[in-house]
Amino acid sequence: MKKHNFSAGPAILPQSVLAQAAEAVKDFEGAGLSILEMSHRSPEFSAVMAEAISLVRELFELPDNYKVLFLTGGASSQFYMVPMNLLSDGEHSSYINTGTWSTKAIKEVSNFGTVEEIASSKDQNFSYYPKEYTIPENTKYLHLTSNNTIFGTQIKEFPETKVPMICDMSSDVFSRRIDASKFGVIYAGAQKNLGPAGTTLVIVREDLLGKTERNIPTMLDYRTHIAKDSMFNTPPAYPIYVCMLTLRWIKEQGGLQAMEAKNEAKANLLYNEIDSNPKFEGVAAKEDRSLMNVTFVLKDKSQEAAFLEKCEAANISGIKGHRSVGGFRASIYNAMPMSSVQVLVDLMKAF
């Protein structure tokens, strides 16, 4: 029996996408070759890349001055590529620290400029999203992490700023509607909500580039990859292909408006059970609860092993919380069906 996959990542993919991707490993659209062994310069793969980029543009309604890239290195590589490409020596950047990933992003900036942590939720183990902060006038950009995978918080409304916003959207990309024109750079590791591990989506406003007067290594310069449509070197062809299939699926489901409605319904079902069940309680502040990563604990920690055993018996996978939070984490990304959330809710009721 297929398991109910609540893993935080690599995460669940749509069943139709998995079926198509499996067939392409054997024979890509009747070409007589596997997608794994096709030239990235072939017309077939060039069409895959072009469609993937086009779907990103369409779903996010990107203005013409934004470029879409599929790179490697995960979102972690963007922690240094962003300041390397955007920040001159001595220039100031502002970061909001909401957890593990923003902490790591902040660490990298000092190699290229100065960084100020203008707000943080570390004082309460990152269980809320900071809302009171001032963006310095001399800052080059504001960096945010839209969804906190480990601690289960999410930005509900992005701020209005006079400077470009840079956002790590790894765990909630394409899960809801956003105004992409508010951002200077959006980046996301694919393995949370878009595709398999191995490629990283980067969306960059082109006019921000080429202003640092820094000698940027060729492979780390966004302009290199823009000029070659993400194919300066051999790209991670299979992960990009699966991302394209997932983007097709999102469009077929009704786009980001439909994804947002489905994700809100799934999250509401689970949070309502957490709040009404006397044995459980949520970890994140209610107003900042993530639609993607639902964190909760048992009030009686001695029952955790018994609950995990029940989950295993019910074919529920990936429910154990991150070690820095404990308890449980149910990641309910786009591809998670409501029926699987209902299985978890029913188990919690019975428990």
CB atoms within 10 A of CB 65: 11
**Annotated catalytic residue 249:** no
Residue of 275, 292, 276, 294 lying closest to 284 (CA atoms): 294
Instruction: In the chain, list all ranges with CATH 3.90.1150.10.
Output: 256-350
- Among 192, 221, 262, 288, the active-site one is 192
Q: What pLDDT, on a 0 to 100 scale, did the predictor assign at position 213? A: 86
Please name the fold of domain 256-350.
Answer: Aspartate Aminotransferase, domain 1 (3.90.1150)
Catalytic residue among 67, 140, 168, 221: 168
Closest to 326 (Cα-Cα) out of 288, 293, 297: 297
Residues of the chain with CATH 3.40.640.10: 15-253
Nearest by Cα to 330 from 258, 287, 269: 269
User: Does the annotation count 123 as an active-site position?
Assistant: no
Establish whether 299 is a catalytic residue: no
The predicted pLDDT at position 1 comes to 58
pLDDT of residue 34: 97
Tens digits of pLDDT across the chain (351 residues): 589 999 999 999 999 999 999 999 999 999 999 999 999 999 999 999 999 999 999 999 999 999 999 999 999 999 999 999 999 998 999 999 999 999 999 999 999 999 999 999 999 999 999 999 999 999 999 999 999 999 999 999 999 999 999 999 999 999 999 999 999 999 999 999 999 999 999 999 999 999 998 999 999 999 999 999 999 999 999 999 999 999 999 999 999 999 999 999 999 999 999 999 999 999 999 999 999 999 999 999 999 999 999 999 999 999 999 988 899 999 999 999 999 999 999 999 999
Instruction: For domain 15-253, give the CATH number.
Output: 3.40.640.10
Helix (H) or strand (E) holding 148: strand 147-148
Catalytic pick from 101, 172, 221, 288?
101
pLDDT at residue 119, as a whole number = 97
**Torsion 330-336-338-343 (CA) sign:** negative
Cα–Cα distance for residue pair 75/116, rounded to 1 Å: 21
